[in-house]
């Protein structure tokens, strides 16, 4: 065993009570860090998942129609014209097949789903409801929205003759799987569809409005034969959605809205949550560092004479320095191991107690390996840095003075 390890371990063993107390202090600090990080991570993951359960990461659509005056002002001529903007109508993305292929090939994009969407009405008996019609490729649509996992009745199988609707709409219309509803574009005649399944995407408004049919059925109903009105994208890095959207616009000239743009407030909330948690963690680390430093400073004062003797017996200055740095590092490491376990335990206890009325956990708290590694690294570094000052002091002790005054 190297001399610095030997002495550091003996010193820690000798000051048993001090060592136990400071390790306990570090453990509590690390536990707070781990628990807080896991809690905030879990909360954010669950909030984002809830939001994105009913939203594509990026939606690509044709640019808005703009009215252009035919006559342009010439030099010396003023035109007092009032340009009225046109109402937007359902339009197709020009050359959408190529666009879809190009989007699928973009870096950062994992899933692409062309969608035909527009306003429609659903009728049954004397009930009439305004809905949003979605004509989709079930395979692709299922990879963007977790609709297959969220079916409450029937199957997710929209075809030219069957539709899938939300739970609230099913209640409003009084239909169940196997019943029939009439779907029509506003002002159109429409057709009768079999209800193949009922979903619950966890959002009341979505459950009340969305009606999913096959691409072809929607194209016919919305008078967009052969076209699609938008393309939904799923991206690899959620928080890079903005960049991907900008990239899409630059490449295709189409309008691309990321979930970050449409949920700016949520994003601000998430960021302020994260930064307040970081601030708390910073001060916890600071307190831990001061605790380690103060214990080691006292230890250096107490061991002044011993350090002097060690130096008199041929122990190098650098060895004395290392002995105290090691003590800090060891305290940090042991504390981080215990603290991580404690934090994970707290997280599990919290997850067990914070449950919804139906007994399902409100949100997942997972202590990831990366989080554990980061906490251990921070605690280790904190230990070494906190020990730096006392260690330098110990190394600088004049052995003759230290032995005499002890």
Query: Which residues contribute to the site for other proteins (CB under 8 A)?
Result: 1-3, 6, 10-11, 13-14, 305-306, 309-317, 319, 398-400, 403-404
Q: How far is the CB of 306 from other proteins (least distance, A)?
A: 5
Identity of the residue, 130 or 298, whose beta carbon is nearer to other proteins in the bound complex = 298
* Alpha-carbon torsion, ordered 344, 346, 347, 353, to 10 deg: 150
Q: Three-state DSSP class for 55?
A: coil
Pairing of strands 230-235, 255-258: unpaired
3-state secondary structure 295-332: HHHHHHHHCHHHHHHHHHCCCCHHHHHHHHHHHHHHHH
Q: Three-state DSSP class for 367?
A: coil
Q: How far is the CB of 310 from other proteins (least distance, A)?
A: 7
Q: How far is the CB of 324 from other proteins (least distance, A)?
A: 14
Identity of the residue, 10 or 355, whose beta carbon is nearer to other proteins in the bound complex = 10
Cα–Cα nearest to 392, from 344, 320, 337, 331: 320
d(CA 389, CA 327): 13
Identity of the residue, 176 or 316, whose beta carbon is nearer to other proteins in the bound complex = 316
Identity of the residue, 110 or 319, whose beta carbon is nearer to other proteins in the bound complex = 319
Q: How far is the CB of 27 from other proteins (least distance, A)?
A: 23
Q: How far is the CB of 300 from other proteins (least distance, A)?
A: 15
Degrees (nearest 5) of the Cα angle 36, 37, 42?
100
- Length of the chain counted residue by residue: 406
Phi, psi of 137 (to 5 degrees): -90, 110
Identity of the residue, 4 or 252, whose beta carbon is nearer to other proteins in the bound complex = 4
Q: How far is the CB of 236 from other proteins (least distance, A)?
A: 50
Beta-carbon contacts of residue 80 (< 8 Å; ≥ 6 apart): none
Residue with tokens 């616009």: 249
d(CA 244, CA 376): 35
Identity of the residue, 3 or 354, whose beta carbon is nearer to other proteins in the bound complex = 3
Q: How far is the CB of 385 from other proteins (least distance, A)?
A: 25
Identity of the residue, 167 or 322, whose beta carbon is nearer to other proteins in the bound complex = 322
Phi, psi of 77 (to 5 degrees): -120, 130
d(CA 12, CA 6): 10
156: how many CB neighbours lie within 10 A of its CB? 19
Identity of the residue, 249 or 315, whose beta carbon is nearer to other proteins in the bound complex = 315
Identity of the residue, 10 or 155, whose beta carbon is nearer to other proteins in the bound complex = 10
Q: Calculate the CA 338 to chain-centre distance.
A: 28
Residue with tokens 């010193």: 11
Q: How far is the CB of 22 from other proteins (least distance, A)?
A: 17
Q: How far is the CB of 395 from other proteins (least distance, A)?
A: 10
């Amino acid at each position: 065993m190297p001399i610095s390890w030997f002495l550091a371990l003996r010193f820690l063993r000798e000051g048993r009570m001090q060592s136990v107390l400071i390790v306990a202090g570090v453990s509590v600090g690390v536990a707070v860090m781990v628990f807080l990080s896991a809690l905030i991570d879990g909360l954010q993951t669950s909030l984002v998942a809830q939001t994105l359960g009913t939203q594509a990461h990026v939606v690509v659509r044709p640019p808005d129609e703009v009215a252009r005056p035919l006559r342009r002002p010439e030099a010396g001529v003023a035109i007092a014209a009032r340009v009225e903007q046109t109402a937007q109508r359902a339009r197709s993305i020009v050359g959408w097949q190529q666009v879809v292929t190009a989007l699928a090939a973009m870096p950062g994009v994992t899933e692409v789903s062309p969608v035909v969407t527009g306003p429609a009405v659903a009728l049954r008996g004397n009930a009439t409801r305004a809905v949003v019609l979605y004509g989709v490729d079930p395979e692709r649509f299922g990879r963007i929205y977790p609709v297959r996992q969220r079916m409450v009745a029937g199957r997710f199988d929209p075809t030219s003759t069957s539709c899938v609707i939300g739970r609230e709409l099913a209640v409003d219309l009084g239909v169940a799987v196997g019943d029939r509803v009439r779907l029509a574009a506003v002002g159109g005649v429409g057709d009768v569809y079999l209800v193949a399944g009922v979903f619950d995407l966890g959002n009341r408004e979505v459950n009340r409005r969305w009606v999913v049919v096959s691409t072809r059925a929607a194209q016919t109903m919305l008078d967009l034969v052969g076209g699609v009105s938008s393309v939904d994208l799923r991206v690899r890095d959620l928080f890079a959605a903005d960049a991907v959207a900008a990239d899409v616009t630059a490449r295709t000239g189409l309008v691309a809205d990321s979930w970050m743009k449409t949920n700016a407030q949520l994003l601000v909330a998430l960021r302020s949550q994260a930064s307040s948690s970081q601030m708390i963690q910073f001060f916890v680390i600071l307190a831990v560092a001061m605790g380690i430093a103060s214990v080691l400073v006292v230890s250096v004062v107490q061991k002044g004479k011993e350090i002097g003797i060690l130096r008199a017996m041929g122990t190098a200055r650098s060895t004395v320095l290392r002995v105290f740095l090691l003590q800090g590092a060891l305290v940090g490491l042991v504390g981080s191991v215990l603290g991580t376990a404690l934090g994970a335990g707290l997280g599990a206890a919290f997850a067990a107690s914070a449950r919804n009325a139906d007994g399902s956990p409100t949100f997942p708290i997972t202590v990831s390996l990366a989080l554990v590694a980061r906490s251990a690294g921070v605690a280790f570094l904190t230990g070494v840095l906190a020990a730096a000052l006392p260690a330098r002091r110990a190394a600088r002790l004049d052995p003759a003075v230290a032995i005499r005054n002890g």
